[in-house]
Amino acid sequence: MKGIVLAGGRGTRLQPLTLVSSKQLVPIYDKPMVYYPLSMLMLAGIDDVLIIALPTEVEQFRALFGDGSRLGMRITYTAQDEPRGIADAFRVGADHIKGEECALILGDNLFHGARLPSLLRRTARELRGCVLFGHQVAEPRHFGVAEIDAKGNLVSIEEKPEHPRSNLAIPGLYFFDETVTEIAKGLRPSARGELEITDVLRVYLAEGRADLVRLGRGVTWLDTGTHESLLDAGRFVRDIQYHQGIRLGCVEEVAMFMGLISAEACLDLGSEMSGSPYGQYVMASARSHRDNPVPPELLEY
């Protein structure tokens, strides 16, 4: 399965933070925002990822991750010259997908939950069309909204409805089969001039190939696209790390846990940042995992 991180957009709601840098490179507590969605794809078992960014920002991501080999991955990059909606990722990334299944995650979405990695890997294995996730929120009007029937079956999908039919928001994480690029090719811009991800999902729904997986109370989802939500996310990450002694979105550690790199390689990556608490954590985790390795199937992250 291929992965896509959509890191486009101009980040206008975060200006002036984003005047000279990508929104997805703005820090959430101790690491760039993009670390969090990338780590989710890695935890889902994906090691071939495309990062889509504005032409002026592609090289910023390349400077951060290179070709991905240091993490045991393949990371490539492509430019989206103008933000044209989430579904445009399947057009821009068609050569990357190449008729395979794929997972798309938005570059400003942060997820955390102990059982989430195993849920994502199971979703990838059992994919039969597309999978979207549902997360209960207090204000669903600001998101795509999923409606389910009494049996939990997906009934309808609306984009930022004025009168939502449920309180299940659709986070920016999706799994699709190999037909998604052809579906995306047939889309037309919506009234707001974008290629809507909800229109892609509706095609799968009409064909009876769309499944909704509810994220339970043990999962946290944060959209970090505003100054307030960015601050909330930083506080959340800091509190988890302080109280539990783990670091969310630590891509070096995740690469080691998933068997993409060895503990020694992870130790080397940490040593390059040994002057920071983050680098010291990576080194300590590498030493611990070297002495007591944890199989990915037992990982709770």
Virtual torsion, Cα 53, 38, 212, 194, nearest 10 deg: -10
298: pLDDT confidence band, cut at 50, 70 and 90?
A: low
Q: Is residue 89 within 8 Å of 5, Cβ to Cβ?
A: no
Contacts of 208 (CB under 8 A, 6+ apart): 129
Q: Flag whether the pTM goes above 0.75.
A: yes
Q: What b/e readout covers 222-236, taking b as 16+ CB neighbours within 10 angstroms?
A: bbbbeeebbebbbeb
Q: What is the pLDDT of residues 36-63, one digit of tens each?
A: 999 999 999 999 999 999 999 999 999 9
pLDDT given at position 115: 86
Positive or negative CA dihedral for 30, 32, 37, 39? negative
Tokens of 54: 């504005």
Q: What is the pLDDT of residues 233-268, one digit of tens each?
A: 999 999 999 999 999 999 999 999 999 999 999 999
Backbone φ and ψ of 50, nearest 5°: -105, 130
pLDDT beyond 80 at 180: yes
pLDDT beyond 80 at 296: no
pLDDT given at position 21: 87
